[in-house]
Structure 1
Amino acid sequence: MRALVTGGAGFIGSHLSEALVNRGDEVFVLDDLSTGRFENIEHLGDRVTCVVDTTLNQDTVREMVREVDVVYHLAASVGVQLVVSQPTRTLINNIKGTETVLEETCRYRRRLLITSTSEVYGKGTKEIFYEHDDRVVGPTDRPRWGYAASKAVDEYLAMAFWREKRHPVVITRLFNTVGPRQTGRYGMVVPNFVRQALRNEPVTVYGDGKQTRCFAYVGDIVPALIGLMDRKDLSGAVFNVGNDESVTIEELAHRVIARTGSTSKVVLVPYEEAYGPGYDDMLHRRPSLEKIGAAIGYKPTTNLDQILDAVIADMRAREERDGAPAT
């Protein structure tokens, strides 16, 4: 099998590329390295062909799609801080990039998996979110919701291609995926907490810390993506992918401190101070995993403490290797 992974030098994309290589696939990566890092796939050597370009370049996308059998589309602008600070880039990269990938995979009838996000559920007040739930998002003058809107448009485009042209596409909504190689540059909470704790700095929790989240290990997520891609009968479907073990963000901070042996203290930071006025958040974000469980037998096996230990070990190793604090 010949597979193209857009965003394949990023956190999740590099783990996916590695898994595909290890099962014997020929892997091509398209990444502009704006948030991804070539170091994430460098160890794969000539088993991966990497092109440094963007999904906005339709000629490059066309050339690469033509040469493969399947496409995993992970390239996107991600991270709350990036979304808030660069809303134009977020919207254009996510919508235009996905449109280009859809057009070219449809042109050559290549099966496509699109990674969307739990953000599409917006600020709904439910504790558990199902794929068929209504979406509740904030007003257009708050950039916080631009990312959610852009990924929802991606999903609408994908479903339109499926309905009108029977383009074989499947959509996955990822819930807070974490693990080795993830950085905290754009607001990812677990690596940020771990970095602060390793430096014995205050661990900064935004808001009151009572909001709950579920964190899934990248080593559980990647096999699910491959499993969904391999099932051609699942075209035109949307699946939550994540972990359903909930934790408050305040408790998460304390668990990171305990598992690092840090002397850090937890400090609450108002949303307005972190992101500016008018920032919205949702209280809970827990996925229903019934649909993907029924489809491919998916069930996460890595618990939160195991995830934290893996991230802590990775960040310590990076700091020792580079001789400087990991970012």
Structure 2
Amino acid sequence: MCSDKYFDEDHSNLIVGPVNKPRWIYSVSKQLLDRVIWAYGEKEGLQFTLFRPFNWMGPRLDNLNAARIGSSRAITQLILNLVEGSPIKLIDGGKQKRCFTDIRDGIEALYRIIENAGNRCDGEIINIGNPENEASIEELGEMLLASFEKHPLRHYFPRLRAFVLSKVAATMAKDIRT
């Protein structure tokens, strides 16, 4: 697809897929806006600082109602499954990994970006994440389940039915190329 091996979807670690598919439009549009802002900074002198929050976790980020309609973070979705006793669906076996960031650490990073001591953040795109707090979705589900089972109010909630493994992600990569 692309003559540059670093950007060829068949060889790159970055797979964006077709922009007309709902799954990819969010990621691609964020990347496009980053590039547009960067270009205005380079060519027109626009002063900017962009930040990308990665998998923030903590209170009040979203709620179980958001999880019911599929509009929540992975942690909230897993908690909903535990509370309702519904099966936890692990796409491609839950092997995909994410680095989770405590909301307090994220807010502290934002304060420092806004403070912009010595103009260090000018013209930068800053990822806010915690690479030392990495877990697969399967591991995350197991950690939450272990904590949930020990909770003193556990007996008020239905039993978890199962972890359900799905090959959706593996087959989706094949489907989007056809």
Output the TM-score relative to the length of structure 1: 0.40
> AA paired with 2:139?
E
Tell me how far apart the structure 1 counterparts of residues 77 and 167 of structure 2 sit (CA, whole Å): 16
Deviations 1:239-264 (A, max 9, x none): 11111121111111111111111542
Tell me how far apart the structure 1 counterparts of residues 165 and 22 of structure 2 sit (CA, whole Å): 20
Residue segments in structure 1 that go unaligned for 5+ positions in a row = 1-121, 126-134, 281-327
> AA paired with 2:21?
R
Matched, 1:278 2:172: yes
Deviations 1:5-32 (A, max 9, x none): xxxxxxxxxxxxxxxxxxxxxxxxxxxx
How far did 1:268 drift?
2.1
Deviations 1:192-242 (A, max 9, x none): 111221233322222211121111111110110121121134211111111
State which of 93, 99, 107 in structure 2 corresponds to 1:214. 99
Residue segments in structure 2 that go unaligned for 5+ positions in a row = 1-8
> AA paired with 2:101?
A
Change (3 A) 1:142 1:162: same
Tell me how far apart the structure 2 counterparts of residues 246 and 266 of structure 1 sit (CA, whole Å): 24
Q: Secondary structure in 2 aligned to 1:173?
A: strand
Runs of 4+ in 1 over 6 A off after TM superposition: none
How far did 1:187 drift?
4.3
> AA paired with 1:161?
Y
Task: Assess if the C-alpha contact under 8 Å between 1:207 and 1:268 holds in 2.
Answer: no
Task: Assess if the C-alpha contact under 8 Å between 2:19 and 2:28 holds in 1.
Answer: no
Residue of structure 2 in register with 1:170 after alignment: 49
Output the TM-score relative to the length of structure 2: 0.70
Residue of structure 2 in register with 1:42 after alignment: none
Matched, 1:234 2:128: no
Q: Identify which of structures 1 and 2 has the higher relative contact order when contacts are C-alpha pairs closer than 8 Å and 6+ apart.
A: 2
The within-5 A match list for 1:100-119 is none
Tell me how far apart the structure 2 counterparts of residues 266 and 189 of structure 1 sit (CA, whole Å): 17
Residue of structure 2 in register with 1:140 after alignment: 19
Task: Assess if the C-alpha contact under 8 Å between 1:170 and 1:229 holds in 2.
Answer: no
CA RMSD of aligned residues (A): 2.6
Residue of structure 1 in register with 2:86 after alignment: 201
Change (3 A) 1:139 1:246: same
